[in-house]
Chains A and B, each alone.
Chain A
Amino acid sequence: MEKKINLQRYLYIINKNGILFIFLLLCILLSIITPGFLSWVNILNVLRQSSIIGIMAIGTTFVIIGGGFDISVGSTLVLTAAMCVGLQYYMHWGLAIVLVLIMGALIGLFNGFLAAKIHIPAIIATLGTMTIIRGLAYLYTGGYPLYVEAPDFAFIGTGYLGPIPFPVILLIIMVAFWQFILERTRLGRYTCALGGNKEAARLSGVQVDYYHILTFVVGGLMAAMSGVVYASRLLSVTPLAGQGYELDAIASTVIGGTSVSGGEGSVVRTLVGVLLLTIIANVFNLMGIHIYVQYVVKGAIILSAVGFDTYSKFRQ
C-alpha cells in the first residue's frame, strides 16, 4: 500500500515536471548535433519566435486550468492586431493599444458569459465566437492588408533593450506576472479549484461563475496583447493572419503538462511547451527538413504529452 502510494506520487512528479526533463534533454542533444544551436543569436531567435504564441498561451493556460477551452484566440489576435494598426490612423498608438487590450478583455468576457452563464460547452462557444471574430476582422479590414508607418510603435515587436529583444522581455515579464497570479492570488487558486471540481468549489463559497468568466477574460486579454506584438512586428495585418495560432497555444499548454480536464497547470511550464515547439521547428529548419514533416512530428508530440497525462490518470 505504502509502496503503491509512493509510486503514484513518483508518477505524479514525473508527470508534472517531465516536460522540463525532456526539454533539457532535447537542448543538450540538439547542441551536440547542431552546431550553432546554443549560440546567443540562435537562443534569442528562438525566444523571439516564441513571444507571440507564448503570450497568447498564458491566457490559454488560465482558461484550461479553469476547466474551459478557448479556440477563439487566433481570431482575437487578428482582429486586435488589425484594429491596433487601423486605429493608429485616428489616434496615438499608445491609446490604440489600450483600446485593443480592452477589446480583447471584452471578447473574453463574452466567451466566459456564454460558457459560464448560458452553459454552452466552452469549445463550442468559442468555435462560434472564433467565426464571428474572424468575420469582424474581414469586415474591419475590408479583406485587404492594413499598413502603418510608426517607428515608435514598431519598438514593441522589433526593438531591443540592451542586447535582448523587447518582445522577449515582455514575454518573460508576463510569464512571471501570471505565474505569480496563478500561485499567489485568489484568482489563481480559485481557477485551480473550479477546474478541479466546480461544484465543490461552489459549495465552498467560491463565486465560481465570476472566476470562470475571469479566466476567459485573461484568455482574451493575452490574445489581444499577442495581437499588439504581432502588429508591431510586421506593421501590416491581413485578415488571414493568426490562423492555427490557437492550436499552437493549446498544444503548448498541454505539452507543458496542464491537465486537459482542468485543475492543475503552470504558466512557466507552458512557456517550456512553447519553446519546445519553437525549437523543434527551429532545428528542422536548420537541418533543412521539410515543413510537412514538422506537422507530423508536432502532432505526435501533442499526442504523447496528453496521452501520458490521461493514461496515467486512467490507471489511477
Chain B
Amino acid sequence: MKIVKLKKAFPGVIALNEIDLEINKGEVHALVGENGAGKSTLIKLVVGAYKKDSGEIYFDNQKVEFTSPAQAFQSGLSVIYQENSLIPQLTVIQNIFLGVEHFTSLGILDEKKIYEQYLSITKQLGFELPPFEKVRNLGVAEQKLVEILKALIHKVKFIIMDEPTASLSENEVEHLFRIISELKSNKISVLYITHLLGEVFKIADRITVLRDGKKINTVPIKDVNREKVVTMMVGESLKNAYTSVFTEVKKREKVVLQVKNLKRKPRVNGISFELFAGEVLGIAGLRGAGKTELSRLLFGADRLEDGSIIINNKPVRFRSPLDAVNHGVSLVPEDRKKDALILMLELYKNITLPTLEQFTSKGVILSGKEIAATRRAIEKLDIKTSGVKQITRYLSGGNQQKVAISKWLQANPIVLIMDEPTQGIDVKAKLEIYNIVRKLAETGVCIIFISSEVSEVVKVSDRIIVLSQGKISAEFKHGVSQEEIMRTILKEE
C-alpha cells in the first residue's frame, strides 16, 4: 500500500494535507495522533467512504480508487472498526462466509465444504470459536476474532484496525496481538490505529504520527521511545497559543454541584467531584473512559446504579431528563444529529423545544414571542442561517452545534454539561464555542466541558479531571500543559 500526497478538505478545515504513507507487505504499521489529527479521515479516504480531493493510492502496485468500503473489501482491503459490523442473528460460520459461501452444483449450500474450510483456517491460526453459535451470544473479543476470520476467508491482504482494543479485556488484547503476529507471518499487512502507545510498542514495526491533518513523521519503532512519540503528537510550539480565550481563573466560592460515588457499570465506576459557581470543569480521557456515560447520568438520561447528586445543598434524584431540566441541569449531547436536534424541524422549533412552557399562554404557543427569542439566539451565537424557519438539517455542522447549545441558554441552566461540543466543526466555530463557554461561566453558570481533544480542554477549563476506566485518575488546575495531560491519559494502559 502506498499513499501519495493524499488531500481532503472539508468546508473551513483541511482534514488531511498531502499525506504520504507507505506500508509494506506483512508489516504492522501503527497510526497515532490526537483526535482530529486526521486518522479516521485517512481510513475513510483509503476505503472510499469519502472522496479524496487529490492524491493517489496504490494497492498491490496498482493504482486504485475505491468508491465504497464494500468495493475495497472485495479487492482485499478490510477495516475492523471499534464497533463490529457482523450480523448478530447469524452464526459465526454464517457470518464468516457471508457472500462467499460454497454451493453444490445444484446451487444448494455446501455446508460440509464450508465447515472444512473453516476448520483448516482456524487450525492454521490456532484459535477456536464455537462455529454454530449466534454471534450475538459471543463476547466482544470473540466477535473481533470473527471479523478477522471473515476478512481472511475473503482473502484480504490488508487489514485496517481502528482502535480494536477499546472494549477488550487484558487477556483478550493479548490474544488479539498473537493473532496479529500470525497475520504478519501470513504476509498480511496491518494498519493499526490507536491512542494507546503501549500497544504500539508491543506490536508495531513502524509508526506514523499525524497532527492537525499533517504527517509529522514515519519512524521504525526501535528508533523512538514513548516520550518522543508524545512530543510528536502534541507538538512543542503550540502551548502558548492556548490561553487566548481565558480571562481569569474563577475563585472557588460557592459549591453548586456535588457528585458522590456515581456508579453505572461498566463505564462509570465511582466518580466524585465538586463544581463551583461559574467554574468550567474540563473532563478529558480516552474513548470508552466513561465521559459520555457520566454526562448522561448527571442529566438523568440513564438510571443511576449508585451514588448521589447534590445541587445547591439539596440531594436530587433524576428519573428522567425532564427532572434534570427542572433542577437546572442541561446537556448538550455528544451526537448532535442523533440526540440533540430534530433535523427535520425548523430552527425555531428546535431552539424553543426545552423551554416551550415559557412561550405558551393558557396552553397556546405565542409564535411571535417564540420567533423573537429565536432571532435573539441567532444574533447572540452568530448562527448562520437563512431565517428562523430554516429546516435545521440544512445548517452546517458548526451552526447546528450552536443551535444545540442555544436551545439550552433560554432555560437558564445552573449546570450546563457539554459533551464533545466541538466535534466535527471547523476551527473558527470551535473558537466561537470556547468564547461562549467562557462568557457563560462569567455569568455564574457551571459548565462541565467534556472533550477528547486535550488541547481544547486545557484551553477553556478552570480545572480538569482525567477519567480512565470510569474513575477519576488525575486532577489538574488551569495552566497545566496539554502534554502533561496526554501523558497522564496515555499512562493509564
Q: Return B8 CB to nearest CB of chain A, in Å.
A: 17
Q: Are A186 and B338 in contact (CB under 8 A)?
A: no
Residue of A nearest to B296 (CB): A203
In this assembly, does A221 line the interface, its C-beta being within 8 Å of a C-beta of chain B?
no
Candidates A190, A207, A259; contact of B320 at CB < 8 Å: A207
Give the contacting residue for B407; candidates A184, A189, A197, A204; CB below 8 A: A204
Partner of B349 from A9, A184, A193, A316 at Cβ < 8 Å: A193
Q: Which bucket holds chain A's interface residue count?
A: 20 to 34
CA distance A206 to B357 in the complex (A): 11
| CB < 8 Å neighbour of B356 from A8, A12, A186, A199 | A186
B367, A184: Cβ atoms under 8 Å?
yes
CB distance from A198 to the nearest CB of B (A): 9
For the complex formed, measure the closest distance between the CB of B50 and the CB atoms of chain A, giving whole angstroms.
17
**When A12-B391, A189-B356, A193-B349 are in contact, do A203 and B301 touch as well, CB less than 8 Å?**
yes
Closest to A197 in B: B342
Looking at the complex, which one of A184, A185, A192, A200 makes contact with B340 (CB distance below 8 Å)? A200
Residues from 359 to 385 in B contacting A, C-beta threshold 8 Å: 360, 363-365, 367
Q: Indicate if the CB atoms of A5 and B331 lie closer than 8 Å.
A: no
Which residues of chain A come closer than 8 Å to B342, judged between CB atoms? 192-193, 196-197, 200-201, 263
Q: Are B349 and A192 in contact (CB under 8 A)?
A: yes
Chain A CB within 8 A of B345 CB: yes
B321 near A202: Cβ-Cβ < 8 Å: yes
| Closest chain B residue to A207, Cβ basis | B322
- Where chain A touches its partner, the secondary structure class is helix
| Interface assignment of B224: CB less than 8 Å from any CB of chain A | no
Nearest A residue to B299 via CB reads A203
A196:B343 contact, CB within 8 angstroms: yes
Cβ of A205 within 8 Å of any chain B Cβ, yes or no, is: yes
A200, B339: Cβ atoms closer than 8 Å: yes
Is B345 within 8 A of A205, CB to CB?
A: no
Contacts of B81 in A (CB 8 A): none
B residues near A, CB below 8 A? Answer: 299, 301, 320-322, 324-326, 331, 333, 338-345, 349, 353-354, 356-357, 360, 363-365, 367, 391, 393-394, 407
Given contacts A197-B342, A202-B320, 6 further A-B pairs with CB under 8 A are A186-B363, A203-B299, A205-B325, A205-B354, A206-B322, A207-B320
Shortest beta-carbon contacts, A-B, top 4: A205-B325, A196-B342, A204-B354, A197-B342
**A–B pairs, 5, beta carbons within 8 Å:** A185-B360, A199-B338, A207-B322, A263-B342, A263-B345
- Please list the residues of chain A having a beta carbon within 8 angstroms of any beta carbon in chain B: 5, 8-9, 12, 183-186, 189-190, 192-193, 196-197, 199-207, 259, 263-264, 316
